[in-house]
A = this chain, B = another copy of it.
Amino acid sequence: MIAGKTHRVAIVGGTGAQGQGLGYRFARAGHGVTLGSRDPARAVAAAAEINTRLLDSLGAQKLRGDTNEGAVAAGDVVVLAIPYRGYDAVVAGLPLSGKIVISCVNPVAFDSFGPIGLAIDGGLSSAAEQAQRLQPESHVVGAFHHLAAVSLSSGADYLAGEDVLVVSDSAQAKAVASQLAETITGRPGIDAGRLRMARHLEALTAVLISINKSYKTHAGIRIHGLDGAASTGRGATLDG
């Protein structure tokens, strides 16, 4: 596994394709993972399926399944991998105080013209910012918005064609998300600034979906020009 602290990761919405894919990747890298779901039986079944797969390849890495609340209670890092519909109510109801909360939620709508990013609060907020507002004692990060579920669940060691852009007002939370990103892409996450930049990252997903539709592919995004550069963290966080 990647060097660094081992986390107990709770995935809210852990039975969705994105949640299962992230859970698979994090468990494979040695982190403890609990898949949460409104229906804990489904979460237990999904965890068992991934466990079987991990036993085949890497040994006895274990995922658990639980309710969303139970998963969160057992985690120090919480990944929100739920649909945007109903998001506020779910987030407000979870025991997230003191936790690092990673939102990969993408508020994207579809109409006859294709996908379009939703303008949250007139374009002045984002799902990640809403989580921070609803749970002011948590440390919210935006990350993992752009990874195709099919790539996450693939057997590839790393997703070489993808970068994970990480935004937060907390340097500590950014560092944790960046470390988790490295288990997926083989490279640390990219510091893309303050939490409010999540507005732009979430909407970018609509662009990738549009490209996927036109090219019949699973497009990934990479940032070039950072080779060997280390983030200065300058002006990018409140506590950094």
Chain A interface (Cβ < 8 Å from any Cβ of B): 112-117, 119-120, 122-124, 160-162, 165, 190-194, 196-197, 199-201, 203-204, 206-208, 210-211, 213-226, 229-236
Contact = CB atoms under 8 A, between A and B. Distances in A.
11 contacts: A114-B193, A117-B199, A191-B215, A194-B210, A200-B203, A201-B207, A214-B234, A215-B231, A216-B229, A219-B223, A219-B226
A114 B217 CA distance: 34
A161 B163 CA distance: 14
B196 A116 contact: yes
Contacts of A116: 196-197, 199
Nearest to A120: B123
Contacts of A218: 225
A235 B114 CA distance: 7
A190 B119 CA distance: 24
B190 A199 contact: no
Given A122-B122, A123-B122, A203-B199, A193 B210 contact: yes
B204 A231 contact: no
Nearest to A196: B116
A147 to B, nearest CB: 11
A113 B194 contact: yes
B207 A165 contact: yes
